[in-house]
A and B are shown apart, each in its own frame.
Chain A
Amino acid sequence: EVQLVDSGGGLVQPGGSLRLSCAASGFSFSSYIMNWVRQAPGKGLEWVSGIVGSGGSTYYADSVKGRFTISRDNSKNTVYLQMNSLRVEDTAIYYCAMHNYGFQYWGQGTLVTVSS
């Protein structure tokens, strides 16, 4: 059974940092593109970042480019999102998602709140 477990969210002040993790199981992790998607309170889905299976290529939404870094450790079946210089508008539930002809599997999400 495929499982994605998101963790690492919390309350952080503007300008602060946070690292999210997504632990994967039940599939050949290194073979799949992994993504982070966020959803601000009461809003729609926003794709944030993606990383290919080898980790050799990464992609970002313009809204987070230069502040967020996606990475993966295929030995630990885990994908990370390092978030720096956080802003109030980064407040959202963050989901990891496995790409297989679309985002086939999703984590349960982790809430990030940026507030003073």
Chain B
Amino acid sequence: EIVMTQSPATLSVSPGERATLSCRASQSVSTNLAWYRQKPGQAPTFLIYDASSRATGVPARFSGSGSGTEFTLTISSLQSEDFAVYYCQQYNNWPRTFGQGTKVEIK
């Protein structure tokens, strides 16, 4: 099983500032990596696929990068709706696995 590790666990950022989230895989997943945002009480929503492609309707302030075992999600200018929990997930191998999540909170 591929273990996905996200850091930091919590990120405190002021509105309008930049946030950088990291995700590491225990073995290579190529670029078969997705990012999700989950707001309280809601299902996750799809942000990034193939490590760096934005899903339909996702604002340009979200960008993803990386390949192999190291990945990054950057939110260039945090909006109020971006204060949430973010998960990375690999879909290179079965079982599919998620990171434990990074909570982005208001500083």
Contact = CB atoms under 8 A, between A and B. Distances in A.
Interface stretch (A18-26, A80-88, A103-111): A103-111
Nearest to B45: A106
Given A99-B91, A101-B34, A101-B49, A47 B98 contact: yes
A101 to B, nearest CB: 4
A102 B87 contact: no
Size band of the interface chain B makes with A: 20 to 34
Contact of B55 (A45, A99, A104): A104
Size band of the interface chain A makes with B: 20 to 34
Contacts of B46: 102-106
A61 B95 contact: yes
14 contacts: A44-B99, A46-B98, A47-B89, A61-B95, A62-B95, A101-B50, A101-B91, A102-B46, A103-B46, A104-B46, A106-B43, A106-B44, A108-B43, A109-B43
Interface of B: 1, 34, 36, 38, 43-46, 48-50, 53, 55, 85, 87, 89, 91, 94-101
